Structure 1
Amino acid sequence: MSRASFKLGYLALSLSAAFAVPNTVLAQQADVNAESDESMERIVTLGSRVNGRTATESASPIDIISAEQLVNTGATELGKALQMSAPSFNFSSTTISDGSDIIRPATLRGLNPDQVLVLVNGKRRHQQALVNVQETIGKGSAGYDINAIPITAVERVEILRDGAAAQYGSDAIAGVINITLKSSDGGSISAEVGQTYEGDGEVNTVGFNYGVESDNGFFNGTLEYRDRGMTNRASPAEASLIGDWSSPDGEPVVRLHIGDADSENIYAWFNSGYNLGSTTELYAFGGISSRDGGSSGFFRGRGHPRTIETIYPDGFLPKLETEADDQSLAVGIRGDLPNAWLWDASVVYGKNEFGFNSSNSANVSWYYEPHPDGGIYGETPTEAFDGELVFEQTTFNLDFNGTIDIGNELLYLAVGAEMRQDGYEINPGDPVSWAYGRTNDPSVEITTPSGAGAEAGIQGFPGFSPSQAVDATRDSYGVYADAEYYVTPDFLLAGAVRYEDYDIAGDNISGKLSARYDIDSDFSVRGTVATGFRAPGVQQIYYSQVLTNIVDGTLVETGTIANEDEVARQFGINELEEETSESLSLGLIKRFDSGFDLTMDFYQINIDDRIVLSESLTASVGAEFGEILEDNNLGAAQFFTNSVDTKTTGLDIIASYPTELLDGSLNLTAAMSFMNTDVEQVNSVSSLIPGDQIFNDTQVLRLEEGQPSEKATLSGDWTRDAWNVNLAFNYFGAVEGQAFTGVRHEWSGKWLTDLSVGYDFTDNLNVRIGANNLFDTYPDEWGSAGSPFSDAGFKYGWETFPFGVNGGYYYARLNYTF
């Protein structure tokens, strides 16, 4: 693949070609009704604003994943089901990473979670309030909470693997994911139970969906409940990190919780439409979700200043209990205009709230604070509300589309405008969660029995203080034009241009032009070149926090400094600007007489001024830097900056072949994704901080090698009468990391096997049993390269887990339709 860089103007010319069959990952399920199957696979709402455009006519590669395919993965979370269905989509597992243990980073084509745009029913969805600030994939970003949408409510998912900022606006650098909600008549009740081979991680899911249709419209509602138990793959601790981790009898004992967090989820969603007349429809959709999670921090052992041995004589493991609440509502009117034009006006509101609560913990400074009558107070709460993050978004859209006669052909034209307001709040926690003693007076000397100074705040996740409280908004507006024109019956040209203006970060114009050429009925070529952008998120502008992080192997108080804060200017950090991108894709599609179909798409994405969260920087940067840290009572600081230029190249290959086997129909599919990201340049944005320190080798390595460079799914789906068997082999390529230890380490690629068998007892009742990761495959063990963390319980590593550390999982599912 070429690594040559290229420069584009605001408008870019592209070559693009349709393919002879739907470009789907697993779009050949034989037991789907033929009529509904054709509608699901062929008619798309993504990538083109031409009504009725089919996937076969699309100018860009689009994966279409049906509800049945999502369910047949055996996954009960939408993000995990997409990871098992779309090779360009990654849903990294995290552990001991605070809120990221509950809202996992979802990425497309190897980029960051906030560089993909998510739509629901074609309308922009709001992002999550949580910012990934720990050493995980997507560090420094706030993407989308994919799991806030229940699988039971989903009709299909369309994934546009093409830069689309000119069509859909900010964030669509990697592509667009459109989640279409169910609108069908009838209902279903489903239940799934499962657990890991180790006997933990129990999952219990119940889903209910019911829809009604009439001449006046439709209503479809979904209720879902899911309870996921924790998993723990920590090994017995042979070494200690914080205090003495040994057991009273001196035998190694498990001190950490490494694996999935507890998660209890409740969903209520709906989709509806009502005909106001023969040419006008009122529509509304949305839902609420509530998720309670439970994860852990680091164990505090005996003899350490952070351990109050009168409360925890054998040490303690701080618990983090999180509450993720999500609400969304879209209301719109659409209808017909003269000359076959259409109009659509809508308002979409979304809100994501993420609350933090600590338990099984303590505020050491609260306990050892001197009492006015002598001695110490000798008491501290062991639980607290740590604070809450809130993201709100309101989006208004007005769109028109139709055709204009040009000679003997029609020009398909769409124009529109968008106004959006993004809001961000940080609500402070209980005083005990963040304060230094009861008065929060740094002049008061509070020491532990060892003579060490007492740390402020509750342990595990210190709370947000009133000084970090935020309630801010940002307004933006955009206008666009989108056109498609058949130069000849075999040659389609398309283009889009979009202007957006933000009251923070300025304005931008992006463009995209496309073409598709059918060489013959069985062979086509396509390609795209475009410019794009992503405005800095309000989360990246306003987020701040003080956490206990590991820096150079030592626990220190690390401040994430809000970009808009004057303290950031003291360190020489500039205000954030938008990211800009230039992308190219070229593809071919071939259909053979045997029924074998092949698509191949190459892409390159150049991004300048990527917004990243810097390394945690200490006084070792320089004397002046150290003085500013000391003035702000910090041991380290990190910042959001436009510091990195990257180039991502990749190749997606999808092949399908239908045949017959043992008097049944067999559909074979191969879907492979090859991706490589290079950090081309690191730019220092501060005279105090060298570029190689503000984003050091550890952070560069995570961007380049933290996600699998190769990902593949090879599957076979066999149906005969009432039987269905699905066998899939999923490959996750090697990943590398060096956070925490500073030692670069590679975890090799692994194949995972999934097998499920379904049987239709009646036309309405289906039972399926299966196993994911059938052969109980785990990542490589970290070994001595991970010392001291591997000695303390991190058997398989920490930083990057493309498929997790749970091992095998088996399940049974029942589905009844009516």
Structure 2
Amino acid sequence: MIDAGPRIYSQETDTYRASIGLKGYLENDAMWDISATYGRNDSKDSVQNSIHAGNMATSIYHDQSTWFSGEAFDKSVLVSEGIIYNEENEGGNEQFTLAAGYSGVTESDIGYALGFETRHESGYYTPDEVTQKGESTAAQQFATDGNYSVQSVYGEVSVPVTDELTFEATSRYDQYSTFGGEITWKLGATYQVNDSFMVRSVAAKGFRAPSVSELYGGDSGSYDYLSDPWGNELDPQIKVNYTSDEDLQPEESESFTLGAVLELTDNLSTTIDYWAFDITNAISRVDVQQELNACFNGVQASCTAVNITAGGDLSDLSAQLTNIGSQKTSGIDWNVSYSHDLFKVTFDTTYLIEFEQDDTDYTGTIDGNIGGYADFKSNLSISGYATEDLTVLYSAQFIRGMDGEYYGEQFATDNIIYHNISASYHINDQWAVNGGVKNLFDTEPETVLGGNDMGTVPSIYDVVGRNMFISTSYNF
């Protein structure tokens, strides 16, 4: 609605952090430490010229001749009738941590560490009242408010078996107020073959606890591109109510890495690492389109999963966060680095061998709702000193093209490269000026059929385009 003027966004953020700690040494050279940290972040954001859909509908009903006359509206009229309003949202989070540790090295060069930590986290987000009532042009959204606490103990040990071979072991127990206790561990080894070649490996079990927003997030609507197999919904954008779940369990993972480090010369080195992760109880949302199709074909569990009523009524369609299943991913990282007195070159490449979720292989594919999993990505960075005070940097990112499917229509994205340049000039020892250009050649994002966000996947492709930045810093 151009008569209302552009939406103007602003945000005010207040961040507080206080920390205090003590440490000391015992007669056996072991070290002890204790610390307490408190942090809080509060933000208020405002959106001017937001549209009150409820008031606009009322105005249209009572004055259709004016609304459909084709004449421009006086903005003051829109304001006086409450059609234009300032949307006000606020949110924040808070954390308190108390930790204590004890570490040292024995006469046999065995390193060890023990520790305890207690942490309390809370968060909230309060959308504008109009949004909560579902009367804005955006989908309805409710408030978020919740907290949890966790107590942890851990132990670590590092054992030099020989001058070349070292073993490391770590274990940790976390007790959460939300889901109970969990034990994690890590075993690692490094073998220094000679002065220029080292082999390393790590096996570990871990977990990720659900966040405050995942546990207590307020319901929020999203208009997703979906196909209604019953044919009741003619608009391809169908409202889906995104919900959280207080009963979420932690994601659990098992990982393994094996790699090598080779120093070819004093200036040239390379690393290569194989990695594999197996995640169970992954926290995610169900594939709504997949559940729609299954429900249409008579699978009652799918109807229940996304809240579809008899006859394909999608008016209360929902997608709840849940411990959906499993993810398996593996790949190879390769790095080459060359350093000189005047410049440094770094090249990183990741080859994705596999990305599988719930027995479906997504390697090399892209989807507007799920995301993209390119099987080949590279980053190149070249930095150097133009003068003693001027540093310049060039970087490039390569993403291999991916294949996709949208309701039976096959499509593919092309290979893409983003170029960036920047520079930093030190006026003196305290004052520096930085600037540069991101996406130098204004490369447009690849089109992804069914992409809910600007017809692409912003987490992979740059949707801003060429942009310049400048900043300054001063050290006191």
TM-score (norm 2): 0.77
Distance (Å, rounded) in 1 between the aligned partners of 2:238 and 2:46: 21
CA-to-aligned-CA distance 1:757-798 (integer Å, 9 cap, x gap): 66667777766665443333333356xx569x99xxx5xx33
The corresponding residue for 1:420 is 119
Task: Read off the aligned partner of 1:610 and give its amino acid letter.
Answer: A
1:807 partnered with 2:437: no
1:798 partnered with 2:456: yes
CA-to-aligned-CA distance 1:259-286 (integer Å, 9 cap, x gap): xxxxxxxxxxxxxxxxxxxxxxxxxxxx
Residue of structure 2 aligned with 1:641, choices 322, 347, 358: 322
Residue of structure 2 aligned with 1:716, choices 358, 382, 385: 382
The corresponding residue for 1:350 is 39
Distance (Å, rounded) in 2 between the aligned partners of 1:320 and 1:563: 31
Q: Secondary structure of 2:210's partner?
A: coil
Give the direction of change, closer, same or farther, for the CA distance of 1:657–1:356 in structure 2 (3 Å limit). Answer: closer
Residues 149-164 of structure 1: pairs in structure 2 closer than 5 A: none
Give the direction of change, closer, same or farther, for the CA distance of 1:798–1:713 in structure 2 (3 Å limit). Answer: closer
The corresponding residue for 2:284 is 612
Task: Read off the aligned partner of 2:350 and give its amino acid letter.
Answer: S
Residue of structure 2 aligned with 1:728, choices 392, 395, 419: 395
The corresponding residue for 1:45 is none
Report if aligned partners of 1:424, 1:542 keep a CA contact under 8 Å in 2: no
Report if aligned partners of 1:577, 1:642 keep a CA contact under 8 Å in 2: yes
The corresponding residue for 1:363 is 52
Residue of structure 1 aligned with 2:138, choices 460, 473, 479: 460
Q: Secondary structure of 2:270's partner?
A: strand
Distance (Å, rounded) in 2 between the aligned partners of 1:390 and 1:398: 27
Report if aligned partners of 2:371, 2:457 keep a CA contact under 8 Å in 1: no
Give the direction of change, closer, same or farther, for the CA distance of 1:392–1:737 in structure 2 (3 Å limit). Answer: farther
Residue of structure 2 aligned with 1:538, choices 212, 218, 221: 212
The corresponding residue for 1:402 is 104
1:434 partnered with 2:100: no
Q: CA deviation at 1:470?
A: 5.2
Report if aligned partners of 2:251, 2:281 keep a CA contact under 8 Å in 1: yes
Q: CA deviation at 1:579?
A: 0.9
TM-score (norm 1): 0.47
Task: Read off the aligned partner of 1:734 and give its amino acid letter.
Answer: G
Task: Read off the aligned partner of 1:590 and give its amino acid letter.
Answer: L
Distance (Å, rounded) in 2 between the aligned partners of 1:583 and 1:653: 18
Task: Read off the aligned partner of 2:22 and give its amino acid letter.
Answer: I
Report if aligned partners of 1:482, 1:496 keep a CA contact under 8 Å in 2: yes
Distance (Å, rounded) in 2 between the aligned partners of 1:815 and 1:326: 19
Report if aligned partners of 1:731, 1:751 keep a CA contact under 8 Å in 2: yes
Distance (Å, rounded) in 1 between the aligned partners of 2:13 and 2:402: 29
Task: Read off the aligned partner of 1:488 and give its amino acid letter.
Answer: T
Q: CA deviation at 1:803?
A: 4.6
Residue of structure 2 aligned with 1:670, choices 305, 326, 347: 347
Distance (Å, rounded) in 2 between the aligned partners of 1:365 and 1:767: 49
Give the direction of change, closer, same or farther, for the CA distance of 1:771–1:539 in structure 2 (3 Å limit). Answer: closer
1:775 partnered with 2:441: yes
The corresponding residue for 2:68 is none
Give the direction of change, closer, same or farther, for the CA distance of 1:459–1:353 in structure 2 (3 Å limit). Answer: farther
Distance (Å, rounded) in 2 between the aligned partners of 1:385 and 1:514: 52
Q: Secondary structure of 2:54's partner?
A: helix
The corresponding residue for 2:201 is 527
CA-to-aligned-CA distance 1:426-467 (integer Å, 9 cap, x gap): 43632x3333xxxxxxxxxxxxxxxxxxxx411125453xxx
Distance (Å, rounded) in 1 between the aligned partners of 2:46 and 2:139: 8
CA-to-aligned-CA distance 1:658-697 (integer Å, 9 cap, x gap): 35xxxx7343322222335522426xxxxxxxxx9xxx99
Task: Read off the aligned partner of 2:197 and give its amino acid letter.
Answer: F
Q: CA deviation at 1:550?
A: 2.7
Q: Secondary structure of 2:103's partner?
A: strand
CA-to-aligned-CA distance 1:91-143 (integer Å, 9 cap, x gap): xxxxxxxxxxxxxxxxxxxxxxxxxxxxxxxxxxxxxxxxxxxxxxxxxxxxx
Q: Secondary structure of 1:339's partner?
A: coil
Q: CA deviation at 1:599?
A: 1.2
Task: Read off the aligned partner of 1:434 and give its amino acid letter.
Answer: Q
Residues 260-299 of structure 1: pairs in structure 2 closer than 5 A: none
Residue of structure 2 aligned with 1:754, choices 407, 413, 420: 420
Q: CA deviation at 1:710?
A: 2.9
Residues 361-400 of structure 1: pairs in structure 2 closer than 5 A: 361-368=50-57, 379-385=81-87, 387-400=89-102
Distance (Å, rounded) in 2 between the aligned partners of 1:506 and 1:761: 55
Q: CA deviation at 1:532?
A: 0.6
Distance (Å, rounded) in 2 between the aligned partners of 1:389 and 1:725: 39
Report if aligned partners of 2:14, 2:42 keep a CA contact under 8 Å in 1: yes
Report if aligned partners of 1:587, 1:602 keep a CA contact under 8 Å in 2: yes
The corresponding residue for 2:23 is 334
Distance (Å, rounded) in 2 between the aligned partners of 1:614 and 1:386: 31
Report if aligned partners of 2:268, 2:336 keep a CA contact under 8 Å in 1: yes
Residues 561-580 of structure 1: pairs in structure 2 closer than 5 A: 561-564=243-246, 575-580=247-252
Q: CA deviation at 1:355?
A: 4.6
The alignment's C-alpha RMSD in Å is 4.0
Residue of structure 2 aligned with 1:656, choices 334, 337, 348: 337
1:506 partnered with 2:189: no
Task: Read off the aligned partner of 1:591 and give its amino acid letter.
Answer: E
Distance (Å, rounded) in 2 between the aligned partners of 1:610 and 1:707: 17
Give the direction of change, closer, same or farther, for the CA distance of 1:597–1:703 in structure 2 (3 Å limit). Answer: farther
Give the direction of change, closer, same or farther, for the CA distance of 1:729–1:475 in structure 2 (3 Å limit). Answer: closer
Give the direction of change, closer, same or farther, for the CA distance of 1:630–1:359 in structure 2 (3 Å limit). Answer: farther
Task: Read off the aligned partner of 2:317 and give its amino acid letter.
Answer: A
Q: Secondary structure of 1:626's partner?
A: coil
Report if aligned partners of 2:251, 2:282 keep a CA contact under 8 Å in 1: yes
Q: CA deviation at 1:721?
A: 5.2
Q: Which has the higher strand share?
A: 2
Report if aligned partners of 2:367, 2:450 keep a CA contact under 8 Å in 1: no
CA-to-aligned-CA distance 1:532-556 (integer Å, 9 cap, x gap): 1111222111112232413425444
Give the direction of change, closer, same or farther, for the CA distance of 1:401–1:563 in structure 2 (3 Å limit). Answer: same
Distance (Å, rounded) in 2 between the aligned partners of 1:725 and 1:313: 43
In the comparison of the two structures, how many residue pairs are matched?
Answer: 438
Report if aligned partners of 1:674, 1:711 keep a CA contact under 8 Å in 2: yes
The corresponding residue for 2:268 is 596
Q: CA deviation at 1:720?
A: 6.2
Report if aligned partners of 2:379, 2:396 keep a CA contact under 8 Å in 1: yes
Report if aligned partners of 1:708, 1:802 keep a CA contact under 8 Å in 2: no
Which of 1 and 2 has higher RCO (CA within 8 Å, sep 6+)? Answer: 1
Distance (Å, rounded) in 1 between the aligned partners of 2:135 and 2:184: 46
Task: Read off the aligned partner of 1:487 and give its amino acid letter.
Answer: V
Distance (Å, rounded) in 2 between the aligned partners of 1:354 and 1:738: 40
Give the direction of change, closer, same or farther, for the CA distance of 1:736–1:347 in structure 2 (3 Å limit). Answer: farther
Query: Percent identity over the alignment?
Result: 23
Where does the alignment leave 5 or more consecutive residues of structure 1 unmatched?
A: 1-311, 436-455, 565-574, 683-691
Report if aligned partners of 1:735, 1:800 keep a CA contact under 8 Å in 2: no
Distance (Å, rounded) in 1 between the aligned partners of 2:292 and 2:265: 68
Distance (Å, rounded) in 1 between the aligned partners of 2:58 and 2:430: 67
1:558 partnered with 2:240: yes
Q: CA deviation at 1:380?
A: 3.2
The corresponding residue for 1:200 is none
Task: Read off the aligned partner of 2:112 and give its amino acid letter.
Answer: L
Q: CA deviation at 1:717?
A: 3.2
Q: Secondary structure of 2:445's partner?
A: coil
The corresponding residue for 1:411 is 110
The corresponding residue for 1:495 is 169
Q: Secondary structure of 2:137's partner?
A: coil
Task: Read off the aligned partner of 1:390 and give its amino acid letter.
Answer: G
Report if aligned partners of 2:213, 2:244 keep a CA contact under 8 Å in 1: no
